[in-house]
Amino acid sequence: MIDLHSHTTASDGTYSPAELVDEAGRAGVHILGITDHDTFSGYDQARPPARLSGLELVCGIELSTKLHGHSVHLLGYFLEDDKLSGFRSWILDLQASRRERNIRLVARLRELGLDITLEEAQARGGEMTGRPHFARLLVEKGYVSSPQQAFDEYLDESAKGYVTRREPDFAEAIRHIRDAHGIASLAHPVRLREDLAAILPELRAAGLNAIEAYHSDHSPAQTELYLRLAAQHRLLVTGGSDFHGAAKPEIRLGTGRGGNLLIPEDLMERLRAG
């Protein structure tokens, strides 16, 4: 089985890199892409245990970018991970912008009457503390009953606690991925706020290589639509569960939500062939 979208404790997943490698073994995943938000730290740490267990790791990353005023997730896959030094220094800026946002997010949430501190959030998220860790904190403090409610009431782009974050432009992020010889894939297109068919020519002109047609949040009809659009626009196809461990317990590595994910075995060969 192949799964090209997963998160570790290096971002907002709950499995450490080594635990994720073990989980891949249990789940029957033999090619695993680690795509933590804005960091390669989980991938780097997973390499030694993956080598020991014979798991093929794909170096990946998930970036939050701005497209037409909205946040859009972009996946980068680096099949030659020796070309990454420039990219690794670029993402330090992204990490700094998240830290700076977190300071303002704490201030905003306190303004709304929530008694929380940056230290408490960081105790849950470490170096890559993000909104999912704030969501867990709000649950633990009893302000909401689930992480989803935390997003709906406070943290989502449309919610009252939302504060903006400096995010790279979609096209700029693609440029950085391509400069590092990577493949840029549009993550979970179902979450786009715009019609994909309408904006695909623009995304392709910006250098997009692929669409994540297979994803745990996609219905069979949506997957079919994204496969068709990819073929029409001569884009590659990627796929993955978006496994976050206990942070999204209904999603399983390799098989998605209730087994709704079935990623074709020749996906990697097609990506390698470009």
- Would you say 82 or 250 has its CB closer to ligand AMP? 250
Q: Hey, which residues between 231 and 260 contact Zn ion (CB under 5 A)?
A: 242
132 binds ligand AMP (CB under 6 A): yes
Strand partners, 236: 210
Span of 39-47, 143-151, 185-193, 263-271 interacting with Fe ion by CB under 5 A: 185-193
Query: What is the nearest approach in angstroms of Zn ion to the Cβ of residue 252?
Result: 15
- Would you say 36 or 81 has its CB closer to Zn ion? 36
Q: Three-state SS across 187-211?
A: CCHHHCCCCHHHHHHHHHHCCCCEE
| Backbone angles phi and psi of 132, in degrees to 5 | -60, -30
73 binds Fe ion (CB under 5 A): yes
Query: Contact with Fe ion (CB under 5 A): which of 3, 8, 10, 12?
Result: 12
151 binds ligand AMP (CB under 6 A): yes
- Listing DSSP states for 17-86 in one string gives HHHHHHHHHHHT-SEEEE--BT--HHHHHHHHHHHHHTPEEEEEEEEEEEETTEEEEEEEEESSTTS-HH
Burial (CB count <10 Å: 0-12, 13-18, 19+), residue 232: exposed
State the pairing for strand pair 2-3/31-34: parallel
- Would you say 107 or 191 has its CB closer to Fe ion? 191
Span of 111-119, 148-156, 219-227, 253-261 interacting with ligand AMP by CB under 6 A: 148-156
- Would you say 176 or 244 has its CB closer to Zn ion? 244
37 binds ligand AMP (CB under 6 A): yes
- Listing DSSP states for 245-271 in one string gives GGGSTTEETTTEETT-----TTHHHHH
Cβ-proximal residue to Fe ion, closest one: 73
Query: What is the nearest approach in angstroms of Fe ion to the Cβ of residue 82?
Result: 26
Query: What is the nearest approach in angstroms of Zn ion to the Cβ of residue 32?
Result: 14
Report the C-alpha gap between 238 and 220 in whole angstroms. 15
- Asked whether the beta carbons of 243 and 5 are under 8 A apart, the reply is yes
Query: What is the nearest approach in angstroms of Zn ion to the Cβ of residue 225?
Result: 20
Residues that bind ligand AMP (CB under 6 A): 12, 37, 64, 98, 130-132, 148, 151, 156
Residues that bind Zn ion (CB under 5 A): 62, 242
Residues that bind Fe ion (CB under 5 A): 12, 73, 187
